[in-house]
Homo-oligomer: A and B are copies of this chain.
Amino acid sequence: MPVSALDYARAHGDAYLQTLDAFLRIPSISTLPESAPDMQRAAAWLADHMRRIGLQNVTISPTAGHPVVYGEWLGAGPTAPTLLVYGHYDVQPVDPLERWQSPPFEPTVRGEYLYSRGVSDDKGQLFMVLAAVESYLCSEGRLPINIKIMAEGEEEIGSPHLTAWVRQERERLACDAVLICDSAMLDARTPLISYGTRGLTYMEVTVYGPANDLHSGTFGGVVDNPLNVLVRILARLQEGTTHRVTIPGFYDRVRPLNEEERALLRRVPMDEETIRRLTGVPAPAGEEEFTWLECGTVRPTLDIHGIRGGFTGEGSKTVIPSVATAKVSMRLVPDQDPDEIARLFTNYVYHLAPDTVRVAVRTLNLARPSVVDLRAPAIRAAAQALTLGFGVEPLYMREGGTLPIIPDFQETLTTDVVLMGFGLRDDNVHAPNERFYLPNFHRGIETLIHFFHLLGKG
């Protein structure tokens, strides 16, 4: 047991929160051009903090967008394992601001929660890793492993420059495992190891009809309304009652779940009532042959995100729009290929399009799915660390969301990736009143201290 590091962490829990406060106060909203100076401030704060706690070779690497902050401690020597930690210092926008109970960049404790934009996603969790490092370096003067920590500033805008940076820095980033603390536990008491993520193919379908908006009195019945056509096409992409995607070939590469994995997932409680409570829907919906958890994590989906065109204001304007556009994305699972799915989607949409309109399909975003071998040593170390930190063995599931960088880490660095998050599902990430459950801030730091220790023992 890493007694002195744990003791140090316990003695400095409040001090850590005070230091985090300064980090959270910087409104590093990556999507807002006017936030550029704040992005620089956040990167500088992080680099300073890394140096202060004893990391070495700290750099702020420029990219075509916001910089990547990097620091390392390699004193464990070449025979000790090397862990690369990935996090991000940028945060989501805060609107609607009026729905925040306390200002988003004035961290405030209410009950057992600390409220602030970024406290869960991901400044707080990134800081916890640094706190675990600090606990070792300030108590024992060393870490049981070599550690490399990188934090980007563009996660919330799709990490447009990260893949290139990771490839370019592949030697500096060489490691035995990657740790990402940017996800949630199952609930406040139940730790979770996420062993995979879904990919994404995000498309835009545009239907061009008349040259200009028309009056539905004058031309209704004689021209195909681009919105009617779009709706007909979109409705044919998914079977209504079974929720199966009908794009030919869509499921061809979906790796079937083996019994071992199904058994593992069955241990994760996710019933109808839980989904109702988490989302507010009258009833969940999904593919019949799969559990709710499977539908939300290991099965591909198709979601319409918005339809533009015509009139959506108050009242009753009778327009036949000249153009109608839909945004549609599909979450993908191993071994679906986002490029191939984009192609299949495009071909099928063209196939469905009548010759009364012109249809254009555009690819907006592609991200590969990932899955991690649960037998990897780093995963086993994480499981033990979580058991020590929370007093409960972790459950295992794949994430429904997308982390495009994971396949890049797996390929570029040929390494395993541990997704071990300390947030909660109702932390309001990407929403007003983002928060973090404080008891797990401390338990999480202790878990990370255990993790480093177990990883070092091999």
User: Per-residue 0/1 for A292-331: is the Cβ within 8 Å of any B Cβ (1 yes, 0 no)?
Assistant: 1001110111111111111110011111110001010101
B219–A400 contact, CB under 8 A? yes
Given contacts A312-B308, A364-B315, contact A210 B280 (CB under 8 A): yes
Give the most central of A212, A355, A365: most B CB within 10 Å. A212
A284–B356 contact, CB under 8 A? yes
Given contacts A329-B316, A331-B221, contact A307 B227 (CB under 8 A): yes
A282–B315 contact, CB under 8 A? no
Which A396-428 residues have C-beta < 8 A from chain B? Answer: 399-402, 425
Give the most central of A158, A306, A311: most B CB within 10 Å. A306
With both chains docked as a complex, state the minimum distance between the C-beta of A229 and any C-beta of chain B, in angstroms: 8
A188 to B308, CA, bound (A): 36
User: Per-residue 0/1 for A201-234: is the Cβ within 8 Å of any B Cβ (1 yes, 0 no)?
Assistant: 0100000011111111111111111011001101
Contact of A325 among B282, B312, B354 (CB under 8 A): B312
A222–B316 contact, CB under 8 A? no
A280–B216 contact, CB under 8 A? no
Asked if A262 is at the interface of the complex by the 8 Å CB criterion, the answer is no
Across-interface contacts of A458 in B (CB, < 8 A)? none
A210 to B320, CA, bound (A): 30
A220–B327 contact, CB under 8 A? no
A216–B329 contact, CB under 8 A? yes
- Identify the closest chain B residue to A318 (Cβ): B329
A310–B316 contact, CB under 8 A? no
Contact of A217 among B228, B299, B400 (CB under 8 A): B400
Asked if A279 is at the interface of the complex by the 8 Å CB criterion, the answer is yes
Across-interface contacts of A278 in B (CB, < 8 A)? 219
A309 to B304, CA, bound (A): 10
A40 to B232, CA, bound (A): 46
With both chains docked as a complex, state the minimum distance between the C-beta of A296 and any C-beta of chain B, in angstroms: 4
With both chains docked as a complex, state the minimum distance between the C-beta of A173 and any C-beta of chain B, in angstroms: 25
Asked if A60 is at the interface of the complex by the 8 Å CB criterion, the answer is no
B198–A279 contact, CB under 8 A? no
A228–B304 contact, CB under 8 A? yes
A221 to B333, CA, bound (A): 12
Asked if A20 is at the interface of the complex by the 8 Å CB criterion, the answer is no
Asked if A286 is at the interface of the complex by the 8 Å CB criterion, the answer is yes
With both chains docked as a complex, state the minimum distance between the C-beta of A101 and any C-beta of chain B, in angstroms: 15
B214–A295 contact, CB under 8 A? no
With both chains docked as a complex, state the minimum distance between the C-beta of A17 and any C-beta of chain B, in angstroms: 27
User: Per-residue 0/1 for A168-203: is the Cβ within 8 Å of any B Cβ (1 yes, 0 no)?
Assistant: 000000000000000000000000000000101010
16 additional contacts, CB 8 Å, given A218-B401, A225-B304, A305-B320? A212-B280, A216-B329, A218-B296, A218-B425, A222-B279, A222-B285, A225-B303, A228-B238, A231-B234, A234-B235, A241-B354, A282-B356, A305-B321, A306-B309, A308-B312, A310-B327
Counting from the closest, the 8 A-B pairs by CB-CB distance are A211-B280, A217-B401, A235-B235, A306-B310, A224-B285, A308-B312, A306-B312, A222-B296
Chain A contact residues, CB within 8 Å of chain B? 158, 198, 200, 202, 209-225, 227-228, 231-232, 234-236, 238, 240-241, 243, 275, 278-287, 292, 295-297, 299-312, 315-321, 325, 327, 329, 331, 354-358, 364-365, 399-402, 425, 429-431
Please, could you name 27 A-B residue pairs with CB atoms under 8 Å apart, sorted by A?
Answer: A210-B281, A215-B401, A217-B331, A217-B400, A219-B278, A221-B297, A221-B331, A222-B275, A222-B285, A222-B286, A222-B292, A224-B285, A225-B304, A235-B235, A235-B236, A241-B354, A281-B357, A282-B356, A282-B358, A283-B356, A285-B356, A305-B318, A306-B311, A306-B321, A312-B325, A312-B327, A316-B365
